Amino acid sequence: MHPLPAARHLSRALAVPALLAAAALAGAQAPDPPVFAQLSPDPLAANLAVTAEPLPLADLERAGIVFSGATESEQPAVAQRLQSLVDGFRRQTTGVTDARTLGEQALVFLHANVLTRYAPLAARVDAALATGEYNCVSSAVLYLILARSVGLPVRAARTSDHVLCVVEADGRRVDVETTNRYGFDPGTRKEFTDTFGAVTGFTYVPPTNYRARQDIGEKELLSLILHDRVSLLVDRGQHLAAIGPAMTEWTLAPSELSHGAMVTSISNAASSLAMARRFAEACDLLARSAEAIGAEPALEKRRGEITHNWVVALAESGELDAADALLADPARASFLEDSDRGSLAAWIIELRAEAPARRGDYQAAADLIAAGLARLGANAELLHAFETYSHNVFARAYNARRFAEARAAADAALARYPGSRLLQQDRDLAAKASP
């Protein structure tokens, strides 16, 4: 006899793509928030998104604190610390009107009073004020606030992996590498070139290299705080917690970068739920995200993969009725490709047929497969299974020399699968053996 066919294992590994961006402030891992709590952006981002730049200084200061992730209870103390810094700089520069002098003093003051140690992950403004640790994002935001507080025209610029500020002084644009105390007009300072690369790992990109850098607005600079927070949360595996900052980043400064961060964070969160076998929550998260941001091909694909694995998990645990019901649910199964849905349905039928086959009841197994063929059509895998089980029915009778029974079994099977060469051979063999 032919051996019973082994059921295919259809599970598909869920990939969790890494978000490619600079990392942010490291710290203790927090528990995941409720699944759907993060799908709404911070209201401050929505308000600032429709506010013209330059932003009001108070909004700029508040955004730097809120987008850094300071809690509501922490924000007043951080705001007071920032206000004291601004007041101190204003007092020091009373009477100074020269833009170049103000720009350089702002950088020196910042490093003398706040910034003490460069740390690649330290993008949060609240943390920089508290610990002195900073990176290019947090130092650029703080410099922007100080410069704006004394009326200095300033903007930001970015390269592929770095941020700096630009001041209008003496009728020209002057670069400010905020990560370095000697970074005002850095091309003219030997102290800068001696220390900058060694401390930060970056290479200074001069303003003449237009293709390697671009000006960005205040909102986009603030959004980089959020982007770095998203990156760190992704690196830590806190995918649900990453959704909120990613949604806020995209709302504040829509761009290819922020859009990618948002889609990736939602996809990662759904995948992490699915890998914890929380399939319904994963699919519902993707459904709600579509309501919030519109249909995204990458997220629809991920929903199909998760639905596929959900069906597989149910089937492998013996919950075949539940697996069939999931495949029949148009709201969920619509995200499966037709070929995948058909393959899964056929596999579940094969699993149902395995139970009687293990008891030796090959006819019952063949009948279950035949019913599946009537429902799904000429599925190749089901045809092979039907052929195998039907041959086993024939072989049992033939080996017992019940040749008439064997021929009847072959005839009945051929009526259902007339194209089977194996079943035709069985019939011919029975015909020869019959008296």
Half-sphere exposure of 314 (CA within 13 A, CB side): 21
- d(C-alpha 145, C-alpha 68), whole Å: 15
What is the model's pLDDT at position 213? 87
What is the model's pLDDT at position 21? 29
Contact between 224 and 163 under an 8 Å Cβ cutoff? The reply is yes
CATH number among 3.10.260, 3.10.620, 3.90.1010, 1.10.150, domain 54-216: 3.10.620
Contact between 269 and 285 under an 8 Å Cβ cutoff? The reply is yes
Q: Count other C-beta atoms under 10 Å from residue 337's C-beta.
A: 11
Q: Which tens digits make up the pLDDT trace of 366-414?
A: 999 999 999 999 999 999 999 999 999 999 999 999 999 999 999 999 9
Coil, helix or strand at residue 232: helix
Residue with tokens 């409720």: 34
Angle at 43 between CA 227 and CA 66, to 5 degrees: 55
Q: Is the pLDDT of residue 134 over 90?
A: yes
Instruction: Show the tokens assigned to 286.
Output: 């993707």
Q: Which tens digits make up the pLDDT trace of 155-211?
A: 999 988 889 999 998 888 999 999 989 899 886 665 655 555 556 666 656 665 657
- d(C-alpha 300, C-alpha 282), whole Å: 12
- Percent residues over pLDDT 90 in the chain: 79
Contact between 303 and 283 under an 8 Å Cβ cutoff? The reply is yes
- d(C-alpha 365, C-alpha 138), whole Å: 67
E strand spans, 106-149: 117-118, 133-134
Q: Is the pLDDT of residue 2 over 70?
A: no
DSSP label at residue 66: H
What is the model's pLDDT at position 317? 96
How far is residue 108 from each of residues 33, 64, 89, 104, 113, measured CA to CA in Å? 40, 20, 10, 6, 9
Work out the widest C-alpha separation in the chain, in whole angstroms: 121
Q: Which tens digits make up the pLDDT trace of 255-304?
A: 999 999 999 999 999 999 999 999 999 999 999 999 999 999 999 999 99
What is the model's pLDDT at position 182? 87
Angle at 189 between CA 183 and CA 193, to 5 degrees: 75
Beta bridge partners of 163: 158
Q: Which tens digits make up the pLDDT trace of 137-159?
A: 999 999 999 999 999 999 999 98
Q: Which tens digits make up the pLDDT trace of 12-43?
A: 333 333 332 222 223 334 445 566 667 889 99
Q: Where are the domains of the chain?
A: 54-216, 338-433
- d(C-alpha 104, C-alpha 97), whole Å: 12
Supply the pTM of this predicted model.
0.83
CATH code of the domain made up of 338-433: 1.25.40
Helices (H), 294-361: 297-316, 320-328, 330-333, 338-358
Across all residues in the chain, what is the average pLDDT? Answer: 88
